[in-house]
A and B are shown apart, each in its own frame.
Chain A
């Protein structure tokens, strides 16, 4: 251990002899930084490989010739170094003078004024004239991209943007072109950024030390010294990236990533970085609204709350508490979901409470709970980059969870082998050692065949299976029915390829498995999930760094909405409603005499219930069911049939059209609270400004309703709710308190206030439920398969530039420019057969409905499949999708239905 410590002497001549310590393998600069020794840098960035380009960090080292850059020089024991001699000062000054001369640096006109590393360096080094005459020729600015302005005249060629794009986000869009004083930063073939393969993640902008790359939307809104920074958590996907909101006069001017924050380490994607101004939209709901005579009118809080309370009371009195139901928002803070389920259970007396995990990861919650004892991602995002072997199945991370995708790409860059099983040749497939273009809905056959090979070829982890799991014999018997030859046709790939996957997976330990909705959104979703768990247990991969079963959650707080008990069968903290002990505990805490102990109904049953009359009053919090549920026509019929519908939202949506009362609610950045990300990390969300009009925090609205049911709830803020109720009542979160998550969040389970949180669950194969449970599972095909009339399989999902039904992203400048409409993606072979040109309008029809959209012909699609998303109302895939559900968890089969595609003549 001590052999790793080295000693260096720094600035012994100028100052008192100063011995400092470093670790073997560090560069001289890293040792300086660890010991607080200042040395100027420009091209260096701590999260990027050293570059050695700017020569500002030069030092003098005894017995070394020249002036080596400290950022690229390895530190060795006994080095004697000077950081600030006259000679060094002279060279640094010349370097800076040249940089200034080869550019157009007029700080008056620069967005980065006051926040520019060059400006600071020039000032610190006493540069005060431009001494050199150069043949510098100005270049035009590139303002083609709606998010980013490139002004090469300010570029100092530090190459940070290049490494940000190539090494950090692994997008490979920009590089240094030409050489010497002619060099410049270029895209492929030097096109404008908008015409390149740039995904507008803005990592390059964040890493640029000068004003050469700036955020277009932030230009002119305020400079560094005028803004304050508020740390918060991204409101989009379930990665839970940490953001700095730059705020001037209570308004967000721009968003950047928190460089040392977990999990994203400064990274953001285009939505997280540029998707913030929806909160300022004129469309925001600002007052309560009541439907009257077929129209809507504004109302006071008292009137609207009284109306909802009396209606619910009336219906409960007449039809019983189970005639009301509600769905919580997976986009709002934990504290809101907690409050809503509390309202339903204590005031209304029903467990008919659910959240939109029902449409995505309910199979994960239930499936992994059955296999492992806990229904959450087993490992952490930081594990992705460390993995050596990765199976990505049904997961288009670079679009749906972009920052998680960057870690997967980092792993490959670090030498990991990646296998991508996906019907589409998604971006990750291009980096993969092997792409398995399996057929939609064939996952179990594929995974069973892999296990068949692992067992037959003796490649599985016998010791782990014997000591950590149950049910192996039954599993073995089942997968013996799935030899690769037999399933090759079902899966649509060769038996050889299946063998290859099995052997590769077994060749490295541990291997990491990542999946998302390609696994869950099937009628066999829960079985798919448990099959993933089977494979990883068989290989002995659960419970180790760089291994595990890792579902990435879709929405920012869908993990949290489940954690908070916005589920029909669970109290907060995954305590069963039918467990008498839990009953007693919650009755005492919530000061009520009784709580419903029979599990309630799930979201699809609620909707259906509105149509059949079983549900009389339906409360929708922060969801746009009219666009997100399968078979829009039918869903709208259900919403229309509801006797009394309450919506609580930030915006009028397709769903609020059907509401009897609409409550206007505070949005992200308008309230204090917490989100729980996929990696079970509870992170803070903070207020920047008040909600518009008289809109109120969601937890306040639920509390005021409860008051009308005679309940007095004391908690008066997110902090009260979390610290005094949620963490007290839920053992997995008991140790998490606001004071502990001021900066990075904590990962549950975190049972005590000194517990550091749990980055890896089921450590060393010690499962939450004791032993891992193998499940013997048969493959079942999707409910609707192609036939003569509907010959194509339609698969659905998300696209990079939008989120959900665009209530947020559709109201952010630029995102609609980056993606303005839906398309139906199809293979060149199918397009040719149907005589369809790329970009032409076509009709896509299923048994449920039809849409007119443009065709996007791409060789990323396999023949026989078409693909659409659900972001745009026009051309929303859900006009077509099939309302059939996973038998247990009631998640719909969004990933497979049969359609026909027609040329419009």
Chain B
């Protein structure tokens, strides 16, 4: 294993120390239990947004804490959900009296730990609502799975709902909006290489030189199928077609197109994918109104990408454009 780390046990702690050293104007970090809050938390009278999950997906979620996005993020160990006490303390630290929204990605660990935390917060008289993001079309949403995973749409939901909360929308309205974003977002990802969890010391799976995994999640887990390596244009179509057919996205729909790096894939390749995506969507009459291109929800150093399409309405577009000031996303300020 070759990584720029000091000690395996210190990876998450030292990353958080780095974040606070770099961005103390935007965020504060609490240690043991670990959580990141915006510098001016709690904001009185504002619905607070809390998310969290395993570390290893940076900049998500800690990099999305700040004005116009999350109030708090709870980073677990690498690829491991945070614990209920962590989530509870973060919830208390940002509660401004207008309730707290938990944005939870659909993984058994995240669901169980956030559920326990919400129970504890309610016992402390904090109003909590949870919205579960499950946008990954690679997983069948059936009785035979834990349901679709939460992936790329999470980033878009945090931005859009963060803007609504900044404008003092109520907990009920922000939760409703979050469900609407989730209902209109679809994603799919692929891997060219595996990644190495620091504590495991070796790659989670082996991929041959001429192979790729289609339908991966964001935890270095193998995907639904292994295929022979293909060109960027072919891969883009393999990811986009199931996304478009699933919702389905229709002629005349306006979308936000999000091309995401899994961590190891450089922008030069993401733009080649974006080019193919734009052509594909043009061919089916779907109009790209907004776009996000870069590493935003990653899987350590994995090479590969994911594509997310979000069907926009006017309110979502307006909230997407609203100012945001976080370590990971910043515009309009």
A and B form one complex: no
Q: Please list the residues of chain A having a beta carbon within 8 angstroms of any beta carbon in chain B.
A: none
Q: Please list the residues of chain B having a beta carbon within 8 angstroms of any beta carbon in chain A.
A: none
